[in-house]
Structure 1
Amino acid sequence: MHGRQLLGFAVLFVCWQSAYSARILGILPSAGWSHYAIGEGIMKALAHAGHNVTVVGAHHWKQAPPNYRTIVLEELVFDKGGSEPDLFEYRNDPYLKVLYLLYTHIGPGLSETVLSHPKVNDLLQSDETFDAVIVECFVSEALYGFASHFKAPLIVFSPFGASMWANDLVGTPYPYSQIPHTFLSYTDRMSFMERTINTLLWNADRFYYQNFYLPRQEEMYNKHFPNTALSFQQMMKNTSLVLLNQHFSLSFPHPYAPNMIEIGGIQIGEPKVLPDDIQRFINNSEHGVIYFSMGSMLKGRNFPAEKRNAFIKAFSKLKENVLWKYENTSLPNKPRNVLVKQWMPQNDILAHPKVKLFITHGGLLGSTEALYHGKPLLGVPIYGDQRLNMARARKGGYGIDIEYERLDEDYIYRSIRAVLDNDSITEKAQMIANRFHDKPMSPAQTTVFWVEYVIRHRGAPQLGSAAVQLSFVEYNLLDVYGLMVLTAAIAVKGISLVVKRMALFIGRSPKCGNSGKNKSD
């Protein structure tokens, strides 16, 4: 009887899940894997929960189940046709130049590639329907039109965590005194000068974003979604949910609106068995292993020869073995304790107990995976949010960063030893891992719950903040402060007039002494 009851419950659960299965569209425009992996992690979680998922993007999930469909846009891949950029060139670019490139070239270029693609046009002209549309929030506002087109709730995910672009969608505040700009190597404890620089950069960013970038996105939106029910401005105020690639245990607390949800680590799956050659290399590493990768966008092969040789010489002096993700098939003068491969299963490697250190560019994806497994960091930040991430590591005590311009054999070797020979750094990384794992639901479970919540409640307007409906003047109380200043000015003016009149009256009145003298005369 007990077995029959269990079987009955199982059948009911399967039937409920099938009946509840939603159709969800994911728009993942980024060419770089570090951004795409976040979106794919979200879509995989929804597919595993039984929903029918369609993904528009540059990559394809090879082991996808039948309810996961990918519309592959090969034109989004950077190195298609040999056009791969060398991102090391951006290391010395001023912050405003990087923002200019994002706002004028990278973001609009990716969005236009998606919206003008024949496969996407076929999708837009089809009779398909979706219960929710999920779009990456990374200079891609024109793509929010997919939600309006399919009359579905808009859900976005932010690969940078709580960015200005994401916060504005749901009315989340981000005080400049506390929240450092993405491109600055500051923490939530800033000095006076840091707060000054942070405020100037935030305001410059916001001014260009609102006055030059968004109008261009609106033009693109109107061009590709001419018949949608919502205007661009209405669409920007109609976001149901923001999923953040962030967790407070990895950074610092942020103020959030109710419909901003942290799902940091969504891309991390259960560790898989390592390839035989990597497993043998790790097993034969008596003193442990260092894993070295500059991520998916930066390429180790693009290091200048003197920088590459500095790493080679420094590694040759180590007692530890080194796994180096290096995108060429061979490495000149490779030491015996180094294994190079064009691709490595990063999460599976970082999960191995013999891996003692992760040398990284400081990207949020790799940093999150390292901390998930309690591995300390040695960062070589180049651009974007990498300096910010390594500033957090330095403040949190679970890693240090080194300057690209100073890279030489001795500097690299001493920095590696500074981490490996200091037990407290590894202990801090393991403490962060314990905090990161201590939560009621996994990132995948959290994602599924909130996406389903939005679908169940038809956009969940009850989560929305009234802040998105307020103008700049209203939100910042400039009208109220203006009235206060005007009232105070009127009061001061009134008091001033009264005082002047009283002084004039007193000055004109006869003096008592003179009056008595006249009478006696």
Structure 2
Amino acid sequence: MYIFRGLIFPSLICLWCLTGLGDGARILASISIPSYSHQVAYRTIWKELAKRGHDIVLLTTDPMEGHFDNIRQINLSSSYEIVESFKLSTLISSDASRNIWKFMQLGVLSMSEAHRHQLLHPEVQALIHNSSEHFDLLMVEVVFPLHMGFIERFKVPVIGLSSLDAASAVHGLMGNEDNPIIHPQLGFDLPPSPTILDRTVSVLFNGLINIYGLFVVNPMMDEIIQQVFGKDSKPITELMKEVDMLFINVNPVLHPIRAVTPNTIMFGGGTHVDTVPKPLPEGIRKFLDDATQGAIYFSLGSNVKSNLIRDELRQVFIETFKELPFKILWKFENEELPNKPDNVMIQKWVPQADVLRHPNIKVFITQCGLQSMEEAIMNHIPLIGLPFFADQPANAIMMHNKGFGVHLDHTKLTKEKFKETIMEVINNPKYKQRSVEIADLLTDVEMTGLEKVVWWTEYVIRNKGAKLLRNPIRDLPFYQYYLLDVIGFVGVLSFIVIFGTVKISLLIYRLVRQMIVKKPKKN
């Protein structure tokens, strides 16, 4: 009996340590962008942290269904109404790619008001004004980082999150490599071998975006932060400097290599994909099961709406699908689709990851959102990309260059080109084979993205921050970082030396010349 007790007690201690129940922390997590793709990227993270005993208060526009121990969700889904009042979806679905400045202006205005609405939400206000409320860690989305205002309120370490690659300014604040030629701004695409004109435009675009952020976006955020958290609140530029670590949904298999500091963690590679398949709704399951010649899944994601795209583009889709021998499952936001072919099923919402697991799916026609692409790759499904905005064009070009899909321009799409591309991707095995190879590369890692995120989250909690990993570059002024003062000093010094040398040389020359040409006087 003594031996038995001697074995049980250490085992219980080990189990306690492994599950993290002994040091569970209180975490405030805020994913504020009203977009399902932004929300779903982190769900496995919340569940895993909660499973390890951490208590999470989650501010989200898309609450997870069901009850989860240790997770309290604050529903901010009303943010969608604010964004839609600006008709942002209409612009995105129609001509955002052709009017990027209008998209940026409308996007900034709509996101500012949506975030103001979120921070004034009664449950959020209760968090802010409850003097007894405390947290051990703040995890905030950095795409539009208005919720960084919580930093001063709770005086806690901060982890920034991005469901895609972070913006240039965020990388710069973390001390990461920020080169507009290697890593252009989101929304700007460079060809594989850019010309001098391409590179010049990328540099100018990068500068314009940064200036717009500094003089337009930041003042908007500062005004809202002061309204919500008090007139003495720090500006957003100062709050962002408090970020201890940055977690980005990036993987070197799918993204250009970037030199980053130890406090930037890349967790991309299908981290959000649930490994446990769920049964499909009966109607969708039967439709796909009956696709004896194969099926196509078509979705433009949660931000681009198929019912809002140009009529002529929608007609190209309809006419093409009508001529195909395959069944097509189309995520379509309306109840009815005029002139819908018999081989097409429309659904307002589709359990995408589980649909892509169905053995009859031959190809996924997508807007090239990062999460959608990862779900397809993990299920070895080749892609046809129809990008519209943000990181989608760059993702589509990457997909095309790596060979696991084909990139099409929806502004120039014809029925003939669309049909030809679909048949090529389905019938040519090289696309599927390449998706298998990419999936193998994504999973051939020393630690999964989820494991990395959880380990580093608990590192920040244990050490009450990660200032040890802070890049000293972050504290350098602009002119010192780019060595402008050194270049100026050396330039001035060189000028003085050269100028002095020339002046002295000229003086010596004149003296010598005078001595040589001067003739002695005759007696």
2:59 aligned counterpart, secondary structure: strand
- Among candidates 1, 20, 24, match of residue 21 of structure 1: 24
AA matched with 2:245: L
Do residues 11 (structure 1) and 17 (structure 2) align? no
Letter in 1 for 2:266: E
Aligned residues: 515
Alignment gaps of 5+ in structure 2? none
Q: 1:206 aligns with which of 184, 199, 210?
A: 210
User: 1:262-285, CA deviations, whole angstroms, 9 ceiling, x for partnerless residues?
Assistant: 112332112322222222222222
Question: What is the aligned-residue RMSD (CA, Å)?
Answer: 2.5
Distance 1:133 1:391 in 2: 35
Query: For residues 4 and 95 of structure 1, what CA distance do their matches in structure 2 show?
Result: 69
1:138 aligns with 2:143: yes
User: Structure 1 CA distance, aligned partners of 2:448 and 2:28?
Assistant: 22
- Tell me the residue number matched to 1:509: 515
Structure 2 residue corresponding to 1:179, chosen from 179, 183, 193: 183
Aligned partner of residue 139 in structure 2, secondary structure: strand
Shift of 1:15: 3.1
Q: Of 103, 106, 113, which aligns to 2:110?
A: 106
Cα deviations across residues 228-284 of structure 1 (Å, max 9, x unaligned)?
Answer: 896654422111111101111112211111111111233211232222222222222
Q: Once the 2 structures are TM-superposed, how far is the Cα of residue 182 of structure 1 from its aligned partner?
A: 1.0
Aligned counterparts of 2:251 and 2:244: Cα–Cα separation in 1: 20
Match for residue 413 of structure 2?
407
Q: Does 1:147 align with 2:148?
A: no
Tell me which residue corresponds to 2:252: 248
Matched, 1:468 2:468: no
Q: How many percent of aligned residue pairs carry the same amino acid?
A: 28
| Structure 1 position 7, deviation (Å) | 5.7
Is residue 177 of structure 2 the alignment partner of residue 158 of structure 1? no
CA–CA distance in 2 between the matches of 1:245 and 1:114? 24
* Structure 2 contact 380–439 (Cα < 8 Å) conserved: yes
Which position in structure 2 is the counterpart of 1:219? 223
Q: Residue by residue, what CA displacement relative to the aligned partner does 1:319-377 show, whole Å, maximum 9, x if unpaired?
A: 22211111222333333322221111101111233322110111122122212222221
In the TM superposition, what is the alpha-carbon distance from 1:153 to its structure 2 partner? 0.7
CA distance in 2, matches of 1:203, 1:118: 39
Q: Distance in 2 between matches of 1:223 and 1:301?
A: 37
Q: How does 1:68-107 map to 2 (within 5 A)?
A: 68-78=71-81, 85-86=89-90, 87-103=92-108, 105-107=109-111
For residue 493 of structure 2, the aligned residue among 461, 468, 487 is 487
Q: How does 1:314-463 map to 2 (within 5 A)?
A: 314-463=320-469
Q: Distance in 1 between matches of 2:258 and 2:516?
A: 69
Q: What do the CA deviations read for 1:110-135 (whole angstroms, capped 9, x no partner)?
A: 32122222221111111221111111
* Residues 366 and 385, structure 2, Cα contact 8 Å, conserved in 1: yes
* Correspondences of 1:248-287 after superposition (within 5 Å): 248-264=252-268, 265-270=270-275, 271-287=277-293
**Which consecutive residues of structure 1, in runs of 5 or more, have no partner in the other structure?**
none
For 1:342 and 1:356, locate their aligned partners in 2 and report how far apart those are by CA, in whole Å: 21
TM-score by length of 1: 0.92
- In the alignment, residue 99 of structure 2 is paired with which amino acid? P
Deviation at 1:507, TM superposition (A): 2.5
CA contact (8 A) 1:148 1:228 kept: no
TM-score (norm 2): 0.91
What amino acid is aligned across from residue 316 of structure 1 in structure 2?
Answer: K
Opposite residue 273 of structure 2, the aligned amino acid is I
1:190-229 deviation digits (Å, cap 9, x = unpaired): 3322211111110111122123322332333333223889
- Using the alignment, how far apart are the partners of 2:158 and 2:193 within structure 1? 34
Deviates more, 1:25-34 or 1:265-274: 265-274
Counterpart CA distance in 1 for 2:224 and 2:83 is 25
Alpha-carbon separation, structure 2, partners of 1:416 and 1:331? 21
1:416-454 Cα deviation digits (max 9, x unpaired): 123223222222221111111111222222211111011
Shift, 1:500, TM fit: 1.3
Please report how far the alpha carbon of residue 13 of structure 1 lies from its aligned counterpart in structure 2 after TM superposition. Answer: 4.2
1:160 positional shift: 2.6
